[in-house]
Chain A
């Protein structure tokens, strides 16, 4: 009896083992993006822009042309690439420290200009790479290396809700927040990423998918608890859904 191949790893990822911690959902999100690029047949027509943070080495994992940007500057670098190569697909892959803190200006203005790029925004409410410091997305009360007594709104302010903010800009065409805390939500995340790249394919303008993600190492939780924490703690603060969909002539 011959064995039949029913599943293979996507060609959108290289064979290099990732450096991500056990239970981190970066690997899942990498795979979703890579699968979409493969399924749409655009891997060889894509230039990705890696950011700074845990996903800094994503250029070693995505099996397409990749450029590595300075901290927070990925949307500006992507703008440069896309303006030179308007028929290529250009995406950034950024964490919440990179995008929502040091790079908030670049993402806002890329969206305001309606840059025809796709931003994959991975939000795990903390700085991972540098050892678990507070991010702009850290929840009220959440303990981090730089909020050892928990984030206090009176001292550190409140979490930035990036999708809600970007959705107010005319240049933003498709904005959706999804999660990776269980299989049905991972399926939804993949659909959202596809819609973002299709928005870009149609030349409609700026698309961003915010993906709620885990950081077991810096949250001090095991992988299963971390998924639960996303569902119980993060989702209520960062409601899932489509925040802007001008692609279908909608809101």
Chain B
């Protein structure tokens, strides 16, 4: 068994980094289904998991894959599945069941252009779907959005910890660009995998003092409401403890850009260029899309002239920005959709337009 294969820096593809990071997190079970642009993740797991005594299984559909995840999670192990937008839609039923049955798992969405079959170019147009529930019922789900391959390593490990800590599925959201690009990454020493007691798992009742059940069904409205309030308390706890974001030059900023994932990197270049041109501009990069980081907005909204949300969609995160800004400042938006990636030039032009020109 090869437990560690990567020491020092290695050049890898984003999809493979997610897979290897999951192995580092102690995930030994993966159920997948091919779909571009995340297929390398599935193929990587197929050859990697047997090396660590784990199991890879190709399911007959995304629906079957997420339900195999449900079964494995109910048996108490760390488990993952991955897909891209159209396939991710098919997993939403299963994700709702994972929430209702309080089962931990990590679900990856390497998003592509939509709606429908769309295309295989990068997109962030699944933001609503992943952050606003997506499946049926009253729920929230933690969503982590890395912007670099190195950050994938850290966030994948954290995703598994959050999943186990709160007994919840966690979504790792990337886009086709992040999945396909290559960058040097470091996995470091084998990460210490936190062990979580899973005495709720249905593994056979021998020695347990009685059978256990895992179910999201509750035919009595009053008791289901009680369960739902308990879920809400858990969501409130996550909102308190699991907010992640990064800020760049917002202290003196007149204008604050908001972007996540790969778009944040492009936006960062535009911010630097605008600074050189004399515009006081900064950047807030949400890393957890749910819970959405409200604090950096509350702290800046009475000083800035405007926020500009930059997205690879027709405008989705901008709604959360507006909620966080709550009318204290104007919120503007620039986005490209359908798989088109916004350029640094376009974003720079947007900043200049909103700022009413540059002085240089």
- Chain A residues in the interface with B (C-beta under 8 A): 43-47, 49-50, 56-57, 59-60, 62-70, 73, 76-85, 88-89, 105-106, 108-109
Chain B nearest CB, measured from A157 CB (Å): 22
List the B residue with the shortest CB-CB distance to A81. Answer: B71
B212-A84 in contact (CB<8A): no
Q: How far is the CA of A186 from the CA of B63 in the complex (A)?
A: 35
List the B residue with the shortest CB-CB distance to A71. Answer: B93
Q: How far is the CA of A106 from the CA of B31 in the complex (A)?
A: 14
B206-A45 in contact (CB<8A): yes
Q: 1/0 contact trace for B50-66 toward A, CB 8 Å?
A: 00000101011101110
Q: How far is the CA of A105 from the CA of B214 in the complex (A)?
A: 23
Q: Which of B65, B75, B94 contacts A81 (CB 8 A)?
A: B75
Q: Which of B79, B205, B213 contacts A68 (CB 8 A)?
A: B213
Query: Provided the pairs A45-B204, A85-B203 are in contact, do residues A79 and B211 lie with their beta carbons within 8 angstroms?
Result: no
In the assembled complex, which residues on chain A have CB atoms less than 8 Å from the CB atom of B219?
Answer: 57
Number of interface residues of B (CB under 8 A): 41
In the assembled complex, which residues on chain A have CB atoms less than 8 Å from the CB atom of B36?
Answer: none
In the assembled complex, which residues on chain B have CB atoms less than 8 Å from the CB atom of A84?
Answer: 29, 55, 71-72, 75-77
Chain A nearest CB, measured from B160 CB (Å): 16
B64-A76 in contact (CB<8A): yes
Query: Provided the pairs A67-B202, A85-B203 are in contact, do residues A59 and B68 lie with their beta carbons within 8 angstroms?
Result: no
Majority DSSP secondary structure for residues of A touching B: helix
Chain B nearest CB, measured from A109 CB (Å): 4
Q: How far is the CA of A108 from the CA of B59 in the complex (A)?
A: 12
Query: Provided the pairs A44-B205, A65-B205 are in contact, do residues A76 and B93 lie with their beta carbons within 8 angstroms?
Result: no
Query: Provided the pairs A59-B215, A79-B71, A80-B74 are in contact, do residues A70 and B94 lie with their beta carbons within 8 angstroms?
Result: yes
Query: Provided the pairs A45-B204, A47-B204, A81-B74 are in contact, do residues A109 and B64 lie with their beta carbons within 8 angstroms?
Result: yes
Chain B nearest CB, measured from A172 CB (Å): 15
Chain A nearest CB, measured from B10 CB (Å): 30
- The answer, yes or no, to whether B70 is at the interface (CB within 8 Å) is yes
29 pairs from A and B in contact (CB 8 Å cutoff): A44-B207, A45-B206, A47-B202, A47-B203, A47-B204, A57-B219, A59-B213, A60-B213, A62-B211, A64-B205, A64-B211, A65-B203, A65-B204, A65-B205, A67-B101, A69-B97, A73-B64, A77-B67, A77-B70, A80-B69, A80-B74, A80-B75, A80-B79, A81-B72, A83-B71, A84-B77, A88-B204, A109-B60, A109-B64
Known: A64-B204, A83-B71. 20 other contacts (CB 8 A): A49-B71, A50-B215, A57-B217, A60-B213, A63-B211, A64-B211, A65-B202, A66-B214, A68-B101, A70-B70, A70-B97, A76-B67, A76-B70, A77-B71, A79-B68, A80-B73, A80-B75, A83-B72, A85-B75, A88-B204
In the assembled complex, which residues on chain A have CB atoms less than 8 Å from the CB atom of B204?
Answer: 44-47, 64-65, 85, 88-89
B215-A80 in contact (CB<8A): no
Number of A-B contacts (CB under 8 A): 133
B215-A44 in contact (CB<8A): no
In the assembled complex, which residues on chain B have CB atoms less than 8 Å from the CB atom of A106?
Answer: 60, 64, 67
In the assembled complex, which residues on chain B have CB atoms less than 8 Å from the CB atom of A89?
Answer: 204
Chain A nearest CB, measured from B261 CB (Å): 30
In the assembled complex, which residues on chain B have CB atoms less than 8 Å from the CB atom of A65?
Answer: 202-205, 211-213
Query: Provided the pairs A65-B212, A85-B203 are in contact, do residues A47 and B75 lie with their beta carbons within 8 angstroms?
Result: yes
In the assembled complex, which residues on chain A have CB atoms less than 8 Å from the CB atom of B247?
Answer: none
A56-B217 in contact (CB<8A): yes
B68-A80 in contact (CB<8A): yes
- The answer, yes or no, to whether B129 is at the interface (CB within 8 Å) is no
B57-A83 in contact (CB<8A): yes
A-B interface, 5 closest residue pairs, ranked by CB to CB distance from nearest = A80-B71, A68-B215, A76-B67, A44-B206, A77-B71
List the A residue with the shortest CB-CB distance to B61. Answer: A105
Q: How far is the CA of A88 from the CA of B74 in the complex (A)?
A: 14
Q: How far is the CA of A205 from the CA of B342 in the complex (A)?
A: 52
In the assembled complex, which residues on chain A have CB atoms less than 8 Å from the CB atom of B303?
Answer: none
B202-A81 in contact (CB<8A): yes
Chain B nearest CB, measured from A241 CB (Å): 28
Q: How far is the CA of A84 from the CA of B202 in the complex (A)?
A: 11
In the assembled complex, which residues on chain B have CB atoms less than 8 Å from the CB atom of A79?
Answer: 57, 64, 68, 71
Q: How far is the CA of A85 from the CA of B77 in the complex (A)?
A: 10
List the B residue with the shortest CB-CB distance to A87. Answer: B204
- The answer, yes or no, to whether B343 is at the interface (CB within 8 Å) is no
A67-B74 in contact (CB<8A): yes
Q: How far is the CA of A109 from the CA of B61 in the complex (A)?
A: 10
- The answer, yes or no, to whether B216 is at the interface (CB within 8 Å) is yes
Q: Which interface residue of A44, A80, A105 has the most chain B CB atoms within 10 A? A: A80
Q: How far is the CA of A45 from the CA of B215 in the complex (A)?
A: 19
List the B residue with the shortest CB-CB distance to A90. Answer: B71
